[in-house]
Amino acid sequence: IICEEGFTGKPSTKVPECYKETIGVFERFTIMMSNYARLDFGESYFRSIGVLELVLEKMPVSISLGLWSTLLAYMISIPLGIRKAVRDGSQFDTWTSGAIIIGYAIPGFLFAIVLLVVFAGGSYVRWFPLRGLTSDGFVDMSLFGKAVDYLWHITLPVLASTISAFATLTLLTKNSFLDEIRKQYVMTARAKGLSEKSVLYGHVFRNAMLIVIASFPAVFIGVFFGGSLIIETIFSLDGLGRLGFEAAVSRDYPVVFGTLFVFGLLGLVVGIISDLMYVWIDPRIDFEGQG
């Protein structure tokens, strides 16, 4: 609704000084995409705040959850994958593979609910808080107290987000090590009389870890996308996923489109970074040559 210059009343089509401007669908879409290219998503319908400002306010929570979950997944997957590769075909390899498959099959939200009921609900034990990322008196705590309180709150969400990520990463680590162990230079190193530990960590580890390290951005974005919505909602974490969910429920369309745009943009950027890391870590990879 557009009103004449100098009009101070409430804009309405019932007022003679105001009229409704009709804009075509294609023109509106062009204007919207032009605004999005400048990261101008408008304002929230219900929060009276710019969408970009709102997204930037919530993003640190989602990024911290994704980073901690990815780091924990790597801390579990790399030693476990190496162990499985060294003992390939053994009973240890068999039962850990079964455990990994079961862990991968469990939905993240179901595991999150189980963690809440068992460790935070009070029905069994109450070792962790039920919701939120910080305690009420967080501002008045010391630096060490803030760190402990933050880790105390984020433990269960990180565990729930990691359950599906570490399974794929463990198998990737195992297969990467198996491929390297069977190569000629490993047989040569063993023939020289080097110990198995020296062969494994002095020669195989460096080459086998290239693909695992290069996949860090892809693993992070997978955890970021997969856990941000459901995990943040279950644990009442004030992040991007919960913001998008609440906006969809309340039909706050500028926030919905803004969060979707940011998610898509992050996925695109991290995907490019992941491909560049493959080439940077292993120069033998040539995407142009494969085309």
> What pLDDT, on a 0 to 100 scale, did the predictor assign at position 290?
54
Whether 60 and 112 map to the same domain: the answer is yes
Whether 13 and 152 map to the same domain: the answer is no
Whether 96 and 17 map to the same domain: the answer is no
CATH of the domain at 140: 1.10.3720.10
Whether 264 and 198 map to the same domain: the answer is yes
- Whether pLDDT at 226 is above 70: no
> What pLDDT, on a 0 to 100 scale, did the predictor assign at position 11?
63
Whether 15 and 111 map to the same domain: the answer is no
User: What total number of domains does the chain contain?
Assistant: 2
Residue in this structure with the two tokens 């101008």, named with its chain if needed: 40
| pLDDT-above-70 percentage for the chain | 86
Q: Is residue 268 part of a domain?
A: yes
Whether 202 and 224 map to the same domain: the answer is yes
How would residue 130 be classed by pLDDT, with cut points 50, 70 and 90?
A: confident
CA distances from 168 to 84, 116, 272 (A): 13, 25, 21
Residue numbers of the domain that contains 173 = 39-281
Whether 3 and 19 map to the same domain: the answer is yes
Whether 20 and 113 map to the same domain: the answer is no
Q: Is residue 203 part of a domain?
A: yes
> What pLDDT, on a 0 to 100 scale, did the predictor assign at position 153?
85
Q: Is residue 287 part of a domain?
A: no
More confident residue, 153 or 212: 153
How would residue 12 be classed by pLDDT, with cut points 50, 70 and 90?
A: low
- pTM, two decimals, is 0.74
How would residue 238 be classed by pLDDT, with cut points 50, 70 and 90?
A: confident
Whether 15 and 91 map to the same domain: the answer is no
Q: Is residue 291 part of a domain?
A: no
**Residue 10 φ/ψ region, left for φ over 0, alpha for ψ in the -120 to 50 degree band, beta for the rest:** beta
Q: Which of 148, 164, 273 is nearest to 224 (CA)?
A: 164
Whether 7 and 53 map to the same domain: the answer is no
Whether 270 and 227 map to the same domain: the answer is yes
Query: Tens of pLDDT along 156-187?
Result: 888 888 876 777 788 888 888 888 888 888 88
How would residue 38 be classed by pLDDT, with cut points 50, 70 and 90?
A: confident
Q: Is residue 153 part of a domain?
A: yes
Whether 218 and 151 map to the same domain: the answer is yes
CA distances from 75 to 28, 129, 179 (A): 49, 24, 21
Q: Is residue 289 part of a domain?
A: no
How would residue 289 be classed by pLDDT, with cut points 50, 70 and 90?
A: low
Query: Tens of pLDDT along 46-97?
Result: 877 888 888 888 888 888 888 888 888 888 888 888 888 888 888 888 888 8
